[in-house]
Structure 1
Amino acid sequence: MSFFLQAVRMTLRDWRAGELRFLLLALAIAVSALSSVSFFIDRIQAGIRDEAAHLLGADMVIVSDREFDSVWLNQAKKYGLARAETRIFPTMVLSGKGGETVAKLVSLKAVSENYPLRGAVRIAGEENDPGKKAATIPGAGTVWADPELLREAGIRPDDRVRIGNGFFRVTQRIVTEPDRGISFIHFAPRIMMSLLDLEKTGLVQPASRVSYRLLLAGNEKDIERYRKWAEERIKAVSIKGMRIETLEMDRPEMKTTLTRARQFLSLAGLLTAMLASVAIVLGARRFVSRHLDACAILRCLGLTQRQITLMYLTEFFLLGLAGCLIGILAGYLGHLVLLGVLERYLPQQMAAAGWKTVVKCLLIGLSLLLGFALPPIQHLRRVSFVRVIRRETDFASVSKAALYLPGLIVFAGLLFWLTGDVRLGVWILGGFAGLVAVMALLARGALKIAGLARKKLPFPGWRFSLASLERKPVVTVVQIIALATGLMCVLLLTAVKNDLIGAWQRAVPADAPNRFIVNILPGQKETVEKRLVQAGLGQPGLYPMVRGRLIEINGKSVDKKDYDNERAKRLVDREFNLSYMPELPPQNTVVEGSWFGKRRGEASLEERLAKTLGVKTGDKLTFDVIGNRIEVTVTSLRKLDWSSARVNFFVIVSPDGMEEMPQTWITAVFLPPGQTGVATELSREFPNLTVVDIGHIVAQVRTMLDRVTLAVEFLFLFTLASGILVLYAALTGTQEERMHEASVLRTLGATRLQLRRTQRVELVFIGSMAGLLSATGAELAGWMLAVRVFELEWAFSPAVWGYGLAGGIVCALAGAWLGLRKVLNTPPVQSLRSLQ
């Protein structure tokens, strides 16, 4: 208790003397940035997840080829889950006036009350009406229809159409439908009716192929409980034709966007944590440099090393607790301000901030402070009695890398915990460590070159400045690295950040295809292509599509009984859409093997499909194409960018031997709002064509991208504040040494003008080196994140080096003005006495 009281007294004394203010400020800003990011990330990720769930119309969907019995409904009721049901199947709709009947293939969707559970159907009465959220489902005897169907069939609002045995009045146009998807089963125009009216049509018979869907929504815990129960029941009862749909597993067009959203948000948290650690290291080092004399006196008064360690650990703990509480409060208020600013851009439903975030931020702040304060404390306990007489300061020993290993381990663990993204954390940590090591080597090399060139410089002041830097190489290198680290993160958060986000936005451009044109016959290919070019839509990419069933893998017959995975069973039980082409299509990346060579019968598979079916490069596959056996060898696996909304194929075969197979062609084009009539004209000229509007899917992807982009940009402001703190700490970290040196030189007769010029040369050298290193590090970090983590295209920007060089010099000179102007305006004797 006596040591605790003494630690409290030391804390209060150091506070009154101003010794703890910088470290408290560093910790408070670091924790406020961390907590702001953490609060916001936790809430925005929950909100994004809720909005993403709108694309399923629920939190989870059970799909079956038979009607759900009461067991499924009762279990959902037991867990307190909201539920709705839909039936989806293709059928024909008949319309016409004056004795002329028009028949159109449609995808009929019958929905129950409460549909959808997440999101909303938007409907409109007029052609160009942006629409409004539907408050209910279609009323009895009425249907809603896609605008394309109304245009192509000449149907007007309030017209009656025949579906099966029933007649229904068309009352609304469907503008958007949350769970539409871009699967080929949804490519026919939509007709939506009430589930209660389905029996009236007489279309559902015992042998009908209907997709039954049970939509469920509730809290995450109950949804997870139901999912586990459903998986066990499907496996125990061996229910065929039933699967569980989740957003990431069954909506590939959204998976990439969601993954990148989490990665970008995690990046903000990672950089903030990294900068917080650098600021704490610099602040702790400054604290130690000011307490070496006090520790030497305590050793003379009889305190042991263990007692000194306990007292300073207690002082740091009290400081850390205060700093964390201040930071968490400021961070919470800051994230509320951020939510207010971004209110119109954020998801409508935002989760409440939880106490777990508070505990997490408190533990992170204390762990960072104590983890990185331990090395300086270890140095304090080893201060010699002799320092009372001989007051040398060994800064190199304070900065020994081995002593920071516990802090680095804590730092790595906290990063993974904070972001939940191990892959991103490994890349950031590994890249940061590598960049710091390279920076240290380059900085040391620059000092040696400057030392060799010093004697040839014409100005004595320059020679003296470089000699001063050369006399303390460790301190100079540490300062260059610290300044470069802060500048690197600032550049990464400003100039390079725009390149990163720009690359992400280019992955889903504004002119991304919004129409698929399918079922183009070989004889129509050139004409359709010509019509699209004449409409000013550019040169469309048309791809052949051959229907084939996988029958053998490595000579062994394929049977769905051989697979436990439901998706694998569905894949081997249906036909594949095969395609052939000599060149790798856009938005495709070979991740294993190589693209087609000179051999015949090669195939490239989508990597997720290959994993599901247990296929690897070198395996031989056999497809049945209308009685023709097509044998191919898997020579490559591809990664597809589903968010691009372009034509993608799971299986691409080398062209040889495929041109003569029965085939149709498919393309994807972007139709601006004023040219939607092009699709109608094509359908009239070629009745066999199916034109599918996927504009709502692309719009949903872009809306999510825009919201996350805004969130990331605002989160980077908090991280930028931490970067500025690191810059300040780096520039003022050697303030005492520079003040002491300047006072000695003034005592020996140096003028203020000479000192100012000398310091400027030193700081310009440090700032230039730090600026160039920071720009190089920022560009390399941007490339690494873009290519290795976010899987985006990257282009280096030469302007970043200009920003880095200018920023380094300006920051260094600003630090000189802030840190040394007082000593230059103070008499040497008074300045030296203040340092005793």
Structure 2
Amino acid sequence: MSGHNQNQSQWRLSAAQVSKQWRQGMLSLMSYAVMLAVACMLLGRWFAISLDEQFVHQSLSLFGAQRAILAPTTVKLPNDIKTLPLKTSRSVIFNTMVYAGDHMQLVRVRATDSAFPLLGRWQHEPNHVLRKNQIWLDPQAMAILAVKPGDQVSVGDATLTVAGVSNSEPSTGAQSFWLVPKAVISLADLAALNVVRPGSRVQYIVNFSGSSKALQQLDRKAKQFASSWQYVKAGQLTIRSSNWIEKAQLLMGLSVALIVLLCFYTIFIALRGYLRMQRRMVVVARTLGASHLRILLILILPLIYVFVPATLVGCGIAWIGFTLTRLFGFSWLHFSSQHAQALGLACLPLIAVLLMCYVAYRQLRQCPYRQILTQKLKWWPLVVIWFVFSALVMAVLIGNWRWFSTVIIAIVMSLIVVRLVRRAMVVVLKRISSHQSWQLAAMQIRRATPATDSLILGLTLAMGLTSALWVIQNQMLNRWLSQLPDNTPNYFLVNLQPSHENQLAAIAEHYHVQLSKPFTMVRGRFSAINSTPLCQQNCQPDEPKALGRELNLTQSKTLPPNNQVIAGHWFKSHAKPSVSVAERFASRMHLSLGDQVTFKIYGEQLTLPISSIRRVNWQSFQPNFFVIFSPGALDNYPGMMIASAYAKDHAIEFLDSVRKIDPGFSAVNIRQILSQTQQLLHQLTLGIKVIALLLVVAALLLLNAQLALALFERRQQVSVWRLLGITRRSLARALLTEFCLLGLISSLLALVLAQVLTWPLAHLLDLSWQPDIVVMLTVLLVGPGLVALAVTHFIRTLLSAKQWIRWGAFD
């Protein structure tokens, strides 16, 4: 026979094997698991890449550039910097008074050139270019000065025409929010104002934007800049610092990783059944004198027939899902070169299976062909390969080494605990005797064969990982929704006079505005710990370093909302004055209870002991403070009030009424940021719920594969029982009892696995560890029920006459 005909016959034989194996169920289970694994891997990785790109995009949009130099004096760039292929934009930021008739207001002015902003968007109405002799005011300044577009205002020695309203602008300065109204003018008008003089508090800014190569060259040359210059990268101000967004991304990566873990285990279980079915073909091939290559092709070609189309279908499902998500509000999802690079993950299941198949082939080749049907394969090399590839994919999808190591250690420890509990259950079953079907079922479980252990392990993983992730997801989603309810404050009111507190409360009640408790705020600089001044420069790694800026200090009789005392005690009445510090601040400054801390307030030194350390929820959109003084400690220092407010329908009227009683106050509008945050939160919530449903599908696939393989391996045992005169009804009852009992045992072990696994995950997510009774009852009821339904179908197939003809009585 020619080589061409041999190749054709080999492919036809493989196609026939695929058809037979598909009907028996193993290859079909593998194909479904591959589709789900590939789709989830790509979707999870693509979503993570898109989320990273969105963070960078928002960071650049808020920053207005990719790099910037901040300096107190005019920046003169070296010649080698000027020759770099970079776009530049210059700005000068300062505070000055703006006059309009009888009205005046302190305004933060940005004098910039026509290239502003290099990135992002300056939102202003009407959408005209920046011209000389014009000024753009934000809505608050327009209302205070009572002007409209076309009116004239006086700034320094110049008179400028109001061109329009500046709603928002990318800010490269050190502060994200300014406590005074804002304005934008042309840099060409700066000299005519005559307000920037030597000694003025001014910030000079040079923004840069360009290719990655040019930016890297700029980064290397930044070491030569003057010491008074502050070189800033946009990535340093990314919104990734938002803690809950980072945790949401990690939780989604973990969810996808667990789906892939279950899918890989399903592929491994189905591969075991496939290799056992292929033993007879290997015997026939070796008897007929087939070469080693032909025997290897007998094992591999059917898998290629199945895996290549399944991988392509999985990629198609991922692409369709990625495209459809844009229709549900995920407009920031875009396909880029990084997404294309992630397609390499789709090849990992095929590579892992081919490698495991080759290891099994080496064992079968070294075994005498008369013993192939009876010789047991060594499964531990295949388990090692499966574990390595599963861990590799999980590491890529989770993307955080601390999380990955914690999850791996937690799963291993959980499986050890499950193994101990399972041995205890076997001991209990040895003491049980009852009906014949019960005895047969208990006997099978007491034998503790590797097949039974594998079945229990698979069912435990399927139900345990699913229930653990559902518990964590429910707690996280409930926490997010409670942190950002519909009435989350959308304004911060600052520079309020303490004498107007009662009037402010009355105005808020009149306009149905929800007002938080006002806090008196005093500015002070943290200067010493236990009479030791803070290090200013050349500090040791363990030495507290000065903050370099003033802190907002307050005093309070009661513990503020979203604060929790984790060490010490809150202020007691008639106790000595003391302070309470935030946990993050205490960790950074190496503070502990009883330390004497010194603050410089209006030129005076104030030293008090630390009486408590607080854990603060910084994502609450409420006024929070690093340091809180006991009541009365700051009474001798002048200060102002700060409060948060939720204004739904009458925001403008409310702010105008407050301005009438307190013209110097400022309102920081965070409505746009809050709206973007809530929108992103709802999108992430939807994505996590969809992934949770896919996890259930992966668990059902694993459940199906385990039961199919377990019952397939019982066919010889069932044949012996039939020859001994046991009826089909008794066999069916014994098998159903056995597997229902295994389902109940696996459900109990799954609860142990879920509780052991949720503890470290709750610790990483800053959640309180507590058992979820609803999920526990669901696992105990639904788990054995699903096993019973699936086993009933498989038992009918196992005991049918057609199946006996297909398999043979003693295959």
What is residue 159 of structure 2 aligned with on the other side? 167
Q: Indicate conservation of the 8 Å contact 1:747/1:828, yes or no.
A: no
Alignment root-mean-square deviation, CA? 4.4
Distance in 2, Cα, partners of 1:506 & 1:93 = 42
Per-residue CA shift, 1:357-405, capped at 9, x if unaligned? Answer: 256415643564467668867875786877468x4868xx64x6x9745
- 1:447 deviation in Å? 4.3
User: Where do 1:496-515 residues align within 5 Å?
Assistant: 497-515=473-491
User: Where do 1:427-438 residues align within 5 Å?
Assistant: 427-438=406-417
User: Where do 1:186-585 residues align within 5 Å?
Assistant: 186-219=178-211, 222-230=214-222, 232-234=223-225, 237=226, 239-247=227-235, 249-250=236-237, 254-291=241-278, 326=309, 329-344=312-327, 345-348=329-332, 350-354=334-338, 357-358=341-342, 360-361=344-345, 364-365=348-349, 368-369=352-353, 387=371, 391=374, 398=379, 404-405=383-384, 407-455=386-434, 460-472=436-448, 474-491=450-467, 497-529=473-505, 531-532=507-508, 535-538=511-514, 540-558=516-534, 560-562=536-538, 572-581=547-556, 585=560
Distance in 2, Cα, partners of 1:589 & 1:348 = 36
In structure 2, which of residues 777, 791, 796 is the aligned counterpart of residue 821 of structure 1?
796
User: What residue identity is the alignment partner of 2:260?
Assistant: A
- 1:482 deviation in Å? 0.8
The 1:793–1:32 alpha-carbon spacing in structure 2 relative to 1, beyond 3 Å, is same
- 1:426 deviation in Å? 1.9
Q: Indicate conservation of the 8 Å contact 1:444/1:477, yes or no.
A: no
- 1:186 deviation in Å? 0.8
For these two proteins, the number of residue pairs brought into alignment is: 797
SS at match of 2:242: helix
SS at match of 1:560: coil
**Bigger shift: residues 377-386 or 733-742:** 377-386
Per-residue CA shift, 1:604-630, capped at 9, x if unaligned? Answer: 555665666676777653222224322
Percentage identity across aligned positions? Answer: 21
User: Where do 1:717-736 residues align within 5 Å?
Assistant: 719=695, 721-736=697-712
SS at match of 2:107: strand
Q: Indicate conservation of the 8 Å contact 1:28/1:323, yes or no.
A: no
User: Where do 1:631-780 residues align within 5 Å?
Assistant: 631-633=607-609, 640-655=616-631, 657-715=633-691, 719=695, 721-774=697-750, 777-778=753-754
User: What residue identity is the alignment partner of 1:424?
Assistant: W
- 1:187 deviation in Å? 1.9
SS at match of 2:714: helix
Q: Indicate conservation of the 8 Å contact 2:123/2:166, yes or no.
A: yes
Distance in 2, Cα, partners of 1:182 & 1:524 = 31
Q: Indicate conservation of the 8 Å contact 1:602/1:653, yes or no.
A: yes
Q: Indicate conservation of the 8 Å contact 2:278/2:299, yes or no.
A: no
SS at match of 1:503: helix
SS at match of 2:408: helix
- 1:734 deviation in Å? 0.8
Q: Does 1:808 align with 2:783?
A: yes
SS at match of 2:116: coil
Distance in 1, Cα, partners of 2:807 & 2:239 = 69
Q: Indicate conservation of the 8 Å contact 2:273/2:709, yes or no.
A: yes
- 1:742 deviation in Å? 3.6
Q: Indicate conservation of the 8 Å contact 2:177/2:668, yes or no.
A: no
Distance in 1, Cα, partners of 2:459 & 2:146 = 69
Structure 2 unaligned blocks of 5 or more: none
Q: Does 1:790 align with 2:777?
A: no
SS at match of 2:801: coil
What is residue 129 of structure 1 aligned with on the other side? none
Structure 1 unaligned blocks of 5 or more: 126-133
User: What residue identity is the alignment partner of 2:790?
Assistant: G
The 1:301–1:334 alpha-carbon spacing in structure 2 relative to 1, beyond 3 Å, is closer
Distance in 2, Cα, partners of 1:219 & 1:282 = 49
- 1:826 deviation in Å? 1.1
Task: Provide TM-score, normalisation by structure 2.
Answer: 0.84
Per-residue CA shift, 1:629-653, capped at 9, x if unaligned? Answer: 2224567766654333221223334
In structure 2, which of residues 69, 73, 98 is the aligned counterpart of residue 93 of structure 1?
98
Distance in 1, Cα, partners of 2:382 & 2:577 = 60
Per-residue CA shift, 1:59-92, capped at 9, x if unaligned? Answer: 34433323332339x73762x4444343332222
SS at match of 1:335: helix
- 1:713 deviation in Å? 4.3
- 1:732 deviation in Å? 1.5
User: What residue identity is the alignment partner of 2:98?
Assistant: V
Q: Does 1:54 align with 2:41?
A: no
Distance in 2, Cα, partners of 1:57 & 1:112 = 13
- 1:793 deviation in Å? 6.0
Per-residue CA shift, 1:726-758, capped at 9, x if unaligned? Answer: 222222221212333444434444444443333
SS at match of 1:207: coil
What is residue 113 of structure 1 aligned with on the other side? 114
Per-residue CA shift, 1:574-621, capped at 9, x if unaligned? Answer: 322223446654445678x65668896655555665666676777653
The 1:373–1:828 alpha-carbon spacing in structure 2 relative to 1, beyond 3 Å, is closer
The 1:563–1:778 alpha-carbon spacing in structure 2 relative to 1, beyond 3 Å, is same
Q: Indicate conservation of the 8 Å contact 2:111/2:186, yes or no.
A: yes
Q: Indicate conservation of the 8 Å contact 1:289/1:393, yes or no.
A: no
**Bigger shift: residues 174-183 or 575-584:** 174-183
- 1:422 deviation in Å? 0.9
What is residue 805 of structure 2 aligned with on the other side? 830
